[in-house]
A and B are shown apart, each in its own frame.
Chain A
Amino acid sequence: MRKASRQDACAPRVIMKSSTHHNAYPFAAILGNTQAKLALMLLAVDARLKGALIRGRPGQAKSALARSFAAMIDARLIEAPLAVTADRLLGGLDIEATLRDGKRRSARGLMAEADRGALYIDDINLLGDDLLSLVADALERGVVRIEREGISEILAAEFPLIGTYNRAEGEVSGLVKDRVGLIVEAEKMDSVDDRAEILSRVARFDADPARFNKEFEIETSRIRSNIEEARKRLPAVRVTSEDIRNLADAAVRLSVEGNRADLFAVRTARAHAALNLRDEVTDEDIIIAIRLALAPRANVAPAESNLQHSQSTEESDASEIEIESGASERAGDQSIENLMIQAMDARAPDDMLGPPHHRSRSVSAGRRVEASGLASGRYAGTTTRRDANAKVAIDATLRAAAPHQSARCRVDRLRITMDDLRYKKFRRRSGVLFIFAVDASSSMAVNRLAQAKGAMTRLLKAAYLHRDRVALVSFRGEGAEVLLGPTRSVELGKRVVDAMPAGGATPIATGLLRSIEVARMARARDRQQTLLLLFTDGRANVGANGERRRAEIEEELRQIGAVFEREDISSVIVDTRSMFVSTGEGKSLAAALGGRYVYLPRADSNSIHDAISEAAAELRE
């Protein structure tokens, strides 16, 4: 089977029937990715795990895993492309059939089609919340409920969800993360030998898929019967309340939100025991459960990469569990702390722990940004006005034409006149994304933070008005980090700013580059105008690549300015220098970035807010 390209995914839906499974790349032939393969097998053993999210870099066989897996368990795999719309996902009016039969007919959506199969969504982190919530709802209830375009229906939709994504482009929304049992990392393959073997296998497969499948027949059959056997054993697997308590304990220590994770952890442990043909849950199963079902949901700081900066004692850090000596009285072989440590050690990929390093990336291909066309967004009503990209709203048109049919002497076809035509109105998420880029270096840090905090809180409180959102990037020392992804939550914002560390050199360029990433990630998901608010005194003293010479630093900033212009990012530079004579660095920075310059001798939060509002007002027009 030819590996489907992105183009195929966006074409009219691709349904993989069972017959094509014979020529899918065999699951057993996938090298490495042990965690992901394990997760998928556990999913096959206990469907109540609901799904697996696989994160990793591009080209790590994430898609192949999903397809091979479906082939192996003989489940129909439905793929939802990124450009999918709500009506395709849910189902709705079947235009042709309705016109043909003169009665309202519905068309099944992708989720109903995935019933008793599997649903696969690539780049699931880029799917908008409105669509994700539909998927989350179906996962929870096992049905799709359709109330749209004249159709009112409930259809069965029981399917495991397999979602893959590239973490560097943003984390998956909590909506879906919370409803899916397993979250794993695709492995990086460093061994040259292994990589060579992969090349060899792929070549053999491409040459003759049937023959390649035969090579792995025995292994495939072994895996299949293992899963079968495990499914049979599952109901009898015993888990003690001690085990449940341990898992709940781990969840509490990791500050995992809600109680669903506890359930998933217990199910994971039991499924793992069943897969290993055991009748009761052991420490090994508990470790796997923590690793796959709990640790990935650990609530560290709001930014996913910020493991070094948890200041408050409430939030546990996934990489530094405090070992309370003597506090635990576990009857099991190992204390829960030890189990957790074992679970953590094995799973942390190298870019998660360790100091936040430079994330300056060159402009990427941006192939996902253009996923939705111009006439897109939430279908919100109809109009008779036709403009350039208008899409006909069939349901509304039919309703407009319907009553006139007898008058129009309808014989066997529906007669529609131009007057009947109705066009869809779409609502795109409007509002502005405010990115606060705050200089947290030693000079003037405290004041600056206070000013930024004041402005930020005010914006958050009014965010609901225009559907605005706020993000926070702080830069100091040699790096910059995203402390707050785009959000509307006042609580989250306050919590983050209060915990913000300060001190060090002033790497303005790095801060700006990080901000650009935030803007891009946000754009890929929702179209929003972006306004960058830079709080600094303009005195960058270290460049993005560690450079410390003035001229180089300035050149870097100029290049960034060019990117700003290309990406249509507006900016306001809030000069926080409170000396009497400003040496103009703030102003030249503003010029380089093509943004507004604001120097506020008083620098109180009201004047800052006013300056920001003015800039935002211009954007909203």
Chain B
Amino acid sequence: MKNSRKPESQTSIRAPYPFTAIVDQEQMKLALLLAVIDPLIGGVIIFGHRGTAKSTSVRALADLLPPIVKVKGCLYGCDPDRESDLCMDCAALLDNKNRLPRQRAAVPVVDLPLGATEDRVCGTLDIERALTQGVKAFEPGLLARANRGFLYIDEVNLLEDHLVDVLLDAAASGRNIVEREGISVSHPARFVLVGSGNPEEGELRPQLLDRFGLFTEVTTISDLDLRVEIVVRRERFERDPAAFSEEFRGEQSRLGQRIVRAKKMLARVTTERELLRRIAALCVRLGSDGHRGELTIARAARALAAFEGRSKTTSEDARRVAVMALRHRLRKDPLDRVESAARIAQAIDEIFPSPVRLKAIR
């Protein structure tokens, strides 16, 4: 192809802005961190105005993630320690050789590009091999790449309905099943879904909303000092990304280590039965659909405790994550987010009495 310029850097086009350099927006950052510590929380949806660091945060997150161990050479990044969840090739290899070769790799963060077509998302027939060798081979798509990582969808309200369906299916089942053009393939597709959207573009389908574990809302910052800081930092970053990132290297590395430690100790964090009961009571009181609400609160609270280095979950932990976990799940008037925040706050105050009063609910 003539005259096409490849972008300057190899992978990400520009080095990402450091996560720890992002000004304010604490709720959003917390939600992302919790989702990383425990992927079972089920991802985050960030709703808010344009220009409020939504995409910046998600892309910056990738930098912080500890590496994973995968089967060497596997297209899907299979986990050699999860024998029940291998792709067909790895399963065959395991049968043959009785062990799987290992390799460290970065956690994949797949940014769903706008204009992506279904064949590229799910994977399809490898045309070249078919044309040249007459062989029907599968060419994996983005879902394969995202396995064991994150799938980020910017402007999620603009996403095509049929693509949404494909993604929902995979996110729910953890597998991608392809049946097209004479190909029949199934492979693991466990990823954390992170989405961002602008409320001005309209509401999200409740089925889509519900797919996300945590819901956070961001607004334009009006505090002048913070705004100035945002501008100053951004300009410095653009002028010299390497130097700027260097300034934050210490903080970035500390945060990265906290995440690693939290993930390691997560399994050992306990939650007292009484606290679990109160969490359930909260969800019953608010009429949240099914059990996802309380499961999410419990998991998020535990992840928070782990993040802060504690081995026991407290009611304060639950308070801090409740709004994020429930705001998009209330059965009555599910699309009325403003009122639901107030209702949740009130219910929290009643069920988790605490001397610390919750301030602004986002």
Contact = CB atoms under 8 A, between A and B. Distances in A.
B224 A154 contact: no
Contacts of B162: 380-381, 427
A488 B50 contact: no
Contact of B127 (A147, A399, A488): A399
A464 B224 contact: no
B230 to A, nearest CB: 5
Contact of A142 (B14, B51, B121): B14
A572 interface: no
Contact of B200 (A149, A249, A465, A492): A492
A252 B127 contact: no
A607 interface: no
Interface of A: 48, 86, 90, 98, 102-106, 108, 112, 115-116, 129-130, 133-134, 137, 140-143, 145-152, 154-156, 174-175, 178, 241, 244-245, 248-249, 251-252, 256-263, 266, 378-381, 395-396, 398-400, 402-403, 405-407, 414, 427, 460-461, 463-465, 469, 487-492
B49 interface: yes
A249 to B, nearest CB: 6
Interface in B174-225: 181-182, 198-205, 220-222, 224
A458 B158 CA distance: 22
B245 interface: no
Given A489-B200, A489-B202, A252 B227 contact: yes
B355 interface: no
29 contacts: A90-B115, A106-B1, A137-B114, A141-B13, A143-B7, A148-B115, A148-B117, A150-B119, A151-B120, A154-B6, A174-B50, A175-B50, A175-B155, A244-B228, A248-B224, A252-B227, A257-B49, A258-B49, A258-B52, A259-B220, A259-B221, A259-B227, A395-B127, A403-B136, A414-B131, A427-B162, A461-B335, A487-B200, A490-B203
Contact of B125 (A86, A261, A403, A487): A403
B93 interface: no
Contact of B1 (A105, A130, A154, A248): A105
A609 B39 CA distance: 42
B273 to A, nearest CB: 39
Given A262-B227, A403-B130, A491 B51 contact: no
Given A130-B158, A137-B113, A488 B203 contact: yes
B160 A427 contact: yes
A248 B127 CA distance: 53
A257 B118 contact: no
A598 to B, nearest CB: 26
Nearest to A129: B158
Contacts of B234: 263
Contacts of B84: none
B337 to A, nearest CB: 8
A149 B204 contact: no
Given A108-B4, A262-B231, 11 more contacts: A106-B1, A154-B7, A156-B5, A248-B231, A258-B52, A259-B231, A400-B181, A463-B203, A464-B204, A489-B199, A489-B202
A262 B235 CA distance: 11
B220 A257 contact: yes
B203 to A, nearest CB: 5
Contacts of B127: 98, 104, 150, 395, 398-399, 402
Contacts of B51: 178, 257-261
Nearest to A142: B13
Given A48-B238, A399-B181, A463-B203, A149 B227 contact: no
A491 B338 CA distance: 9
A363 to B, nearest CB: 30
B156 to A, nearest CB: 12
A149 B121 CA distance: 10
A18 B188 CA distance: 51
Contacts of A115: 5
Interface string B1-24: 100111110000110000000000
A147 B227 contact: no
Interface string B86-120: 00000000000000000000000001011111111
Contacts of B132: 102-103
B67 to A, nearest CB: 23
B251 interface: no
Contacts of A261: 51
B124 interface: yes
Interface residues of B, number: 68
B50 A258 contact: yes
B142 interface: yes
A490 B124 contact: no
A478 B129 CA distance: 70
B232 interface: yes
B1 to A, nearest CB: 6
A441 B8 CA distance: 61
Contacts of B6: 154-156
Contact of B182 (A105, A241, A403): A403
A86 B134 contact: no
Given A244-B232, A259-B221, A262-B230, A112 B115 contact: no
Closest 3 CB pairs of A and B: A258-B51, A488-B202, A402-B130
Nearest to B180: A399
B336 interface: yes
A582 B177 CA distance: 62
Interface in B156-176: 158, 160-162
A150 B124 contact: yes
A490 B335 contact: yes
Contacts of B199: 489, 491
B50 to A, nearest CB: 4
B5 to A, nearest CB: 4
B128 interface: yes
Contact of A263 (B7, B130, B235): B235
A103 to B, nearest CB: 5
Contacts of A260: 50-51
A151 B116 CA distance: 10
B128 A399 contact: no
A112 B50 CA distance: 25
Nearest to A468: B202
Given A102-B131, A262-B231, A381-B162, A464 B119 contact: no
Contacts of A381: 118, 162
A492 B130 CA distance: 52
B36 to A, nearest CB: 23
Contact of A241 (B4, B155, B228, B238): B228
A30 to B, nearest CB: 31
B202 A152 contact: no
B351 to A, nearest CB: 28
A98 B132 CA distance: 12
A133 B158 contact: yes
Contacts of A103: 128, 131-132
B202 A487 contact: yes
B1 A147 contact: no
Nearest to B162: A380
B117 to A, nearest CB: 4
A488 B201 contact: yes
Contacts of A266: 231, 235
Contact of A156 (B7, B131, B155, B160): B7
A444 B55 CA distance: 48
B131 A147 contact: no
Contacts of A262: 227, 230-231
B151 to A, nearest CB: 12
A257 to B, nearest CB: 5
A262 B230 CA distance: 9
